[in-house]
Amino acid sequence: MSLHARHGLGLGLAALTLALDQLTKLWALNTLMDPPVMIRVTGWWDMVLVWNHGISFGLLGAGAVPPWVLVAVTAAIAAGVAVWLFRSVRWLPIVTAGLIFGGAVGNVIDRLLYGAVVDFVRWHAYGYSWPVFNLADAAITLGIGLLIAESLFADKSPPKSAAE
């Protein structure tokens, strides 16, 4: 696969991530908000609407940081990830950058539209609960996990050519 095609794949994955994220958030807003409801999917998985005014996992929420600061920081990170996507030559970092970029833009859009991020997926078991999240958060987490795996286990030899 050419470098140009790999970059197209990364951008396509970012666009798909963004579109699915926004569609699932619209579903959550239309289904879970008025009146507020919780949908039990399984014994360990619920759909419940939560407004995240902070950063990941609700950290720095409750007005600790002005919303415009979170928008600016997240947008700057997304821009940096986009630059990273186009500077990458290996397919896995390009894919991870696409996932992270699409997820970050999805959460920026929420902050611009609603002043908070729409979270709605709740996993829990045995009295423990993972923080409520959304598809953008899952894409970012998957992208970071793949990036860590790639950095630990990938062949570090340079590619034979940039066109490969």
pLDDT, tens digit, for every residue of 6-23? Answer: 899 999 999 999 999 999
Closest CA to 120 of 33, 28, 43: 28
What pLDDT, on the 0 to 100 scale, is given for residue 101?
96
What pLDDT, on the 0 to 100 scale, is given for residue 41?
95
Provide the whole-model pTM. 0.86
What is the set of active-site residues?
A: 119, 137
Domain of 106, in residue numbers: 3-32+54-116+135-153
What is the spatial distance between Cα 121 and Cα 87, in angstroms, rounded to a whole number?
33
Mean pLDDT by 10 residues, the chain (164 residues): 87 97 97 93 95 70 71 91 92 94 96 94 94 95 93 72 53
The answer to whether residue 164 is domain-embedded is no
Q: Of all residues in the chain, what percent carry a pLDDT higher than 90?
A: 67
The answer to whether residue 110 is domain-embedded is yes
What pLDDT, on the 0 to 100 scale, is given for residue 35?
87
Number of domains within the chain: 1
Residue 59 burial by CB count (10 A; 0-12/13-18/19+): exposed, middle or buried?
A: exposed
What is the spatial distance between Cα 19 and Cα 64, in angstroms, rounded to a whole number?
30
The answer to whether residue 8 is domain-embedded is yes
The answer to whether residue 47 is domain-embedded is no
The answer to whether residue 95 is domain-embedded is yes
What is the spatial distance between Cα 113 and Cα 76, in angstroms, rounded to a whole number?
18
